[in-house]
Amino acid sequence: MTPLEASKRAREICMLAPIVPVLVVEDGATAQPLAEALVAGGLPALEVTLRTPAALDAIAAMAKVPGGVVGAGTLVTPEDVKNAKAAGATFGVSPGATDKLIAACEAEGLPLLAGAATASEAMRLLERGYDMLKFFPAEASGGAPALKAIGAPLPQISFCPTGGVSPQNAQSYLDLPNVLCAGGSWVAPAAMVNAGNWSGIEALARDAATLKA
């Protein structure tokens, strides 16, 4: 997969809904009903972070949910990329970007939403052909004002800000012309997941899906 193809596909995924749920799945048994609730609520693009032993099983289960587009987050190594693709991930998300990680994604045909927090990092990725990026950590890096400032000289790059994005500040990001969507974890609170409150999660997803990008 070429950088152009990867960026085009990543852009298409980011345009599916204003919010991409960022999910930390502790129990693989919750994966399918969680994905069903989020998709039913209007959030089809799902990022499962590779932070728990259950993550790859969760990706495999979510990949079977009709209407869902499941990706793997926290990709750090080429092995992460191979494991995510084998589990059924159709896109990848990384907190940053390294040459080895990018090469692995290209070799596996996995569209990558690579992370950047500065103009220099964004320019390096643009130089490689990537113009759809993750802005991370969003709030710690200056929030919407910082991303607006980066967008002024680099209007050809679009972003998905993640990290500290909440119902209170999400719209401030989505109002920016260089933002297509935002990543958020609030749509799947651990307490609701543990309780199996899928209707509550679907309601949170519906509210998030009404935000305007």
* Domains of the chain, residue spans: 3-203
> Are 105 and 128 contacting, i.e. CB atoms less than 8 angstroms apart?
no
| Tokens (6 digits) for 78 | 């080429």
- Closest by Cα among 104, 105, 173 to 141: 173
Query: Is 202 considered catalytic here?
Result: no
**What's residue 135's pLDDT?**
98
Query: Is 64 considered catalytic here?
Result: no
Rounded to 5 degrees, φ, ψ at 46 are -125, 130
pTM for the model: 0.96
Q: Which residues pair with 70 in a beta bridge?
A: 46
Q: Domain 3-203: give its CATH code.
A: 3.20.20.70
**What's residue 213's pLDDT?**
80
d(CA 140, CA 143): 7
d(CA 145, CA 175): 11
Coil/strand/helix, residue 193 = helix
Q: Choose the catalytic residue: 47, 85, 106, 202.
A: 47
Beta sheet of 158-161, edge-to-edge order: 115-116, 132-135, 158-161
Residue 49 is classified by DSSP as: E
**What's residue 172's pLDDT?**
98
Q: Choose the catalytic residue: 36, 85, 106, 134.
A: 134
Residue 160 is classified by DSSP as: E
**What's residue 53's pLDDT?**
98
Name the residue with tokens 């992460």. Answer: 80
d(CA 184, CA 43): 11
| Tokens (6 digits) for 149 | 């400032």
> According to DSSP H, which parts of 116-195 are helical?
119-127, 143-151, 170-174, 190-195
d(CA 116, CA 102): 13
Q: Which residues contact 190 (CB under 8 A, 6 or more apart)?
A: 24, 26
Task: Per residue of the chain (213 residues), give pLDDT as tens.
Answer: 898 899 999 999 999 999 999 999 999 999 999 999 999 999 999 999 999 999 999 999 999 999 999 999 999 999 999 999 999 999 999 999 999 999 999 999 999 999 999 999 999 999 999 999 999 999 999 999 999 999 999 999 999 999 999 999 999 999 999 999 999 999 999 999 999 999 999 999 999 999 998
d(CA 21, CA 167): 12
